[in-house]
Every structure is written in structure tokens, then in C-alpha cells.
Amino acid sequence: MRLNDLPDIEFVSADEQEILAEIINLYTSITGRTLTQGDPVRLFLYVIVLIVVMLCNKINYTGKQNLLRYAEGSNLDHLGILVGVERMGEKSAVTTMKITLSEARDVATIIPAGTRGTAGDNVFFAINHDVSILAGTIEAEAAASCTVAGTVGNGYLPGEINKIVDPIPYVAKMVNITTSEG
């Protein structure tokens, strides 16, 4: 059975009407007094019901934090430690950049690692390793990673990352040719 196939779980019922009925029945059985709709005691019991519902919701949340399917944040980290695993850290989105020179040159042109491109929205992608555009050719491809880890760099379609942040002599354009992901 897979984790997502497991049925939803509830440790205690947080049904407001069910709790209200129980509290009113309990009050009636203890006092022998029947409560009318506008009775101040009944209105006070409504307040008690809201408090009980909040507590039931907290109990359910706390119980679920002990289960892998529902755990989040540091609770999930604690569950992982029980089985000897740690949470993977965030990774940077990656893409492939095509670097094009303004003209063919008689010598190789080096594009240093760390050269950045952007779509103009303050999210930057940096070339991972030095790239050499050989003499007589005008383009090369290079892997680039978002400079910030996490999902912020995901989803840039080919051609969207097209502004050179760190100009290099003879480089006319630098543009992503794959969708950024990861």
C-alpha cells in the first residue's frame, strides 16, 4: 500500500453539532433542567462547544504530526531521524544556456564560471563551469544553476533567460534553451 492510498485519519471528532448535543445532554442529565433556545446557560454552553472544537482540532493536528503523511517542518525531521534519514536540502533550478559570440574569432573565447544571466526579474542563473568557444565557431552550450536554492528558479521557458548580467567581450547573447527545473 502506498502512503497516498491510506485513508484519512481523525483521532477525535471535531463535529460542532455532535459536541453541542453531547454537552447539552450531559448538562440536562446532571441538572434535570431542559434548556430552551434563548436560555443564557445554553448560550454559555455554545461558547464551551467552540473551545472544545478548537481543542479537538488541536488534538487531531498534534496526532497527525506523528504520522509521515501529515508531518511537516521539524516534526517531519524528527520522524525521519527515527528511521535514520535526513531531509534533503533545497537545490537550485538548472537550465542549459546557449552562448553566442558576435562573430567568429581566431582564438578561443573563455566564458568564466559564474557568468550570470537573468530574465530581468532579479532571479539569476550562473554558468556552472568555464566554457570555451573554440576558434572559428560562434556558440557553445553550458549548464547554469539558479543562484538561489528552492523553487524560485523553476519554470523559465526556453528563451526567457536572455539578459547578460556580467558582460564579456565578443559575447552577443546568452539565452536558456531548456526549461529551468529542479
Residues 107 and 48 in one domain: no
Residue 89, domain member (yes or no):
no
Residues 131 and 76 in one domain: no
Q: Do the Cβ atoms of 14 and 22 come closer than 8 Å?
A: no
Residue 87, domain member (yes or no):
no
Residues 65 and 106 in one domain: no
Residues 17 and 75 in one domain: yes
Q: Residue 1 has what pLDDT?
A: 75
Name the band, by pLDDT with cuts 50, 70 and 90, for residue 5: confident
Residue recorded with cell 502506498: 2
State the total domains in the chain.
Answer: 2
Residues 98 and 148 in one domain: yes
Residues 78 and 100 in one domain: no
Residue 182, domain member (yes or no):
no
pLDDT digits (tens, 9 = 90+) for 157-181: 999 999 999 999 999 999 999 999 9
Q: 3-class SS at 58?
A: helix
Q: Residue 118 has what pLDDT?
A: 97
Structural domain harbouring 31: 3-82
Residues 99 and 141 in one domain: yes
Residues 38 and 102 in one domain: no
The residues facing 95 across adjacent strands are: 144
Among residues 37, 56, 82, the one where a domain terminates is 82
Residue 160, domain member (yes or no):
yes
Which DSSP letter does residue 4 get?
G
Residues 68 and 128 in one domain: no
Name the band, by pLDDT with cuts 50, 70 and 90, for residue 6: confident
pLDDT digits (tens, 9 = 90+) for 110-130: 999 999 999 999 999 999 999
Q: Residue 127 has what pLDDT?
A: 98
Cα–Cα distance measured from residue 49 to residue 20, given in angstroms and rounded to the nearest whole number: 6
Among residues 82, 104, 125, the one where a domain terminates is 82
Among residues 36, 54, 82, the one where a domain terminates is 82
Residue 181, domain member (yes or no):
no
Q: 3-class SS at 57?
A: helix
Cα–Cα distance measured from residue 41 to residue 35, given in angstroms and rounded to the nearest whole number: 7
Residues with Cβ < 8 Å from 117, sequence gap 6 or more? 97, 124, 125, 144, 161, 162, 163, 164, 165, 174, 175, 176
Residue 10, domain member (yes or no):
yes
Name the band, by pLDDT with cuts 50, 70 and 90, for residue 72: very high
Residue 88, domain member (yes or no):
no
Q: Residue 86 has what pLDDT?
A: 86
